[in-house]
Amino acid sequence: MIAIVDYRAGNLTSVKRALEFLGHRCEITDDADKIRAAERVILPGVGAAGATMENLRALGLVEVLRRDVAAAGKPFLGICIGIQVLFERSEEDRADCLGIIAGHVTRYPGSIDGRTLKVPQIGWNRVRQTRAHPVFTGVPDNTHFYFVNSYYPVPADPGVAIAESGYGVQFVAAVASGRVIATQFHLEKSGAAGLKLLDNFCRLEF
C-alpha cells in the first residue's frame, strides 16, 4: 500500500488517479499509523508552504514524516509543495519546514535583466537529468514536465540534485537523498513521462 499524505491540500486526488491508472494500490490518509505501515509514502499537492506546514503540524504528522518515514528509510516521494517542505525553511510565509534535506526554498526573481519574469511559472519546461538515478529509467533526458511554482529549492549540498531546469534562473527541479526523492514538477500532470517516473518510484528497489 502507498500512502498519499492528506494534509488538506488540493491535488491529492489527481495523484491517486494516476497511481490507480498505473495499477498501484494507494490510499489518501492522515492517519499516522497507516503512514507508518505503508510501503511507500507520497506527499503531493499544490498550496503554500506555511499552510502546508501548519496542517502537517495540526495533524501530528511532522515527526511521523521526519522520523518514521525519512529517517526510517521508507521510500518517500515529494511532489511540488512536497519538495519544498522537505527543506529547512521556505521564503514563502517564512515557513519552518521539515528539514529532512538541508537547504532552503526561494522565490523566482520578478524580473531578469529588466524583463518581467511571469511568476508563478505555469507550464511545460525541460528537465535535465544532472545525475543518473533509477527513478528516471526510461525517461529521456531533457523531457518536458509540467510545473506550477513560484518558489524553488536551493539544497545546501548541490549533490542531492538529480535534475535541473531553467526559468529565468537555473534551478534544482528534483532531488534524491537515500530513499527520499522529490520533484518540483507535477508527475501526475506531465503526461506519459510523469506517469513513467511515478511508476518507477512505486517499483524502485533500494
Q: For residues 73 and 166, which CB has a smaller minimum distance to another protein in the complex?
A: 166
Q: Give the shortest CB-79-to-another protein separation in angstroms.
A: 13
Contact pattern from residue 117 through residue 146 relative to another protein, giving x for each residue in contact according to CB under 8 A and a dash for the rest: -xxxxxxxxx-----------xxx--xx-x
Q: Tell me which stretch binds another protein (CB under 8 A): 36-44, 71-79, 84-92, 113-121.
A: 113-121
Q: Does 21 sit near another protein (CB under 8 A)?
A: yes
C-alpha cell at 195: 506517469
Q: Tell me which stretch binds another protein (CB under 8 A): 57-65, 68-76, 115-123, 174-182.
A: 115-123
Q: For residues 68 and 199, which CB has a smaller minimum distance to another protein in the complex?
A: 199
The verdict on whether 26 is a catalytic residue reads: no
Among 26, 92, 188, 202, the one annotated catalytic? 188
| 3-state SS record for the chain | CEEEECCCCECHHHHHHHHHHHCCCEEEECCHHHHHHCCEEEECCECCHHHHHHHHHHCCCHHHHHHHHHHCCCCEEEECHHHHCCCCEECHHHEECCCCCCEEEEECCCEECCEECCCCEEEEEEEEECCCCHHHCCCCCCEEEEEEECEEEEECCHHHEEEEEEECEEEEEEEEECCEEEECCEHHHCHHHHHHHHHHHHHCCC
Among 172, 22, 167, 33, which Cα is nearest to 108's?
Answer: 167
Among 24, 26, 80, 97, the one annotated catalytic? 80
First-last CA distance in the chain: 17
Q: Give the shortest CB-17-to-another protein separation in angstroms.
A: 5
Binds another protein (CB under 8 A): choice among 47, 75, 78, 82:
47
Of residues 170-199, those binding another protein (CB under 8 A): 188-196, 199
Binds another protein (CB under 8 A): choice among 32, 46, 59, 204:
46
> Whole-angstrom Cα distance, residue 67 to residue 69?
6
Residues of this chain that interact with another protein (CB under 8 A) are: 10, 13-14, 17-18, 20-23, 46-48, 110, 116, 118-126, 138-140, 143-144, 146-148, 166-167, 188-196, 199
| Residues recognised as catalytic | 80, 186, 188
